[in-house]
Structure 1
Amino acid sequence: MGSVERKQRLKEDVRCRILEAGWQIVEEEGWSALSMRRIADAIEYTAPIIYGHFQSKDALLLEFTRKGHMLLSAKVKAAREAHHTLEDQLEAMWLAYWDFAFDQPAYYKLMYGVEMGCCEATLSDCPSFEMASKQVMAVIEEMIAHSKHPDQDADRRFYTFWAILHGLISLNLVQKKVENSCLSEEFNRTILNDAIKGIIRSINQ
Structure 2
Amino acid sequence: MSVQQRKERERADRERLIVATARELAEKDGWDAVTTRRLAERIEYSQPVLYSHFRGKREIIGAVALQGATELAAATRAATAAADGPRAKVYALARAYLDFADRNPAVYDAIFQLDGGLPYAREDTPAPLKDAFAALLETLEGVAGDGVDPGLFTETFWAALHGLATLTRAGRLPRSTSNAEPASWWTASRPTEQPALPRPAPQPRPGRHHRPGRLLTAVALLAFFRESASLGR
TM-score by length of 1: 0.78
The answer (yes or no) to whether the contact 1:54–1:60 under 8 Å persists in 2 is yes
- Residues of 2 paired with 1:170 and 1:128: CA distance? 21
1:99-114 superposed matches below 5 A? 99-113=99-113
2:22 match: 22
Unaligned residue ranges in structure 2 (runs of 5+):
179-212
AA aligned to 2:61 is: L
Aligned partner of 1:183 in structure 2 is 175
Question: Counterpart amino acid of 1:191?
Answer: T
Is 1:79 aligned to residue 79 of structure 2? yes
Counterpart residue type for residue 79 of structure 2:
A
Residue 87 of structure 1 contacts residue 200 of structure 1 at CA under 8 Å; is this kept in 2?
no
| Counterpart contact for 2:27–2:107, Cα < 8 Å | no
Change (3 A) 1:156 1:2: closer
Q: 1:161 corresponds to which residue?
A: 157
Whether the 8 Å CA contact 1:93–1:136 is kept in 2: the answer is yes
Residue number in structure 2 paired with 1:94: 94
Contact 1:73 1:130 in 2 (8 A): no
Alignment gaps of 5+ in structure 1: none
Normalization by structure 2: what TM-score? 0.70
Q: CA deviation at 1:204?
A: 7.0
Decide whether the 8 Å contact of 2:68 with 2:111 is kept in 1.
yes
2: distance between equivalents of 1:6 and 1:160? Answer: 47
Distance change (3 Å), C-alpha of 1:156 and 1:77:
same
Q: Is the contact between residue 76 and residue 97 of structure 1 (CA under 8 Å) also seen in structure 2?
A: yes
Cα RMSD over matched residues?
A: 2.8
Q: Write out per-residue CA displacement over residues 50-94 of structure 1, whole angstroms, 9 at most, x where no aligned residue.
A: 011112222211110011101100011112222343343233222
Deviation at 1:200, TM superposition (A): 4.8
- The match for 1:195 is 221
Q: How does 1:6-155 map to 2 (within 5 A)?
A: 6-113=6-113, 117-119=114-116, 120=118, 122=120, 124=124, 126-127=126-127, 131-144=131-144, 147=145, 150-155=146-151
- What is the alpha-carbon distance in structure 1 between the residues aligned to residue 153 and residue 60 of structure 2? 33
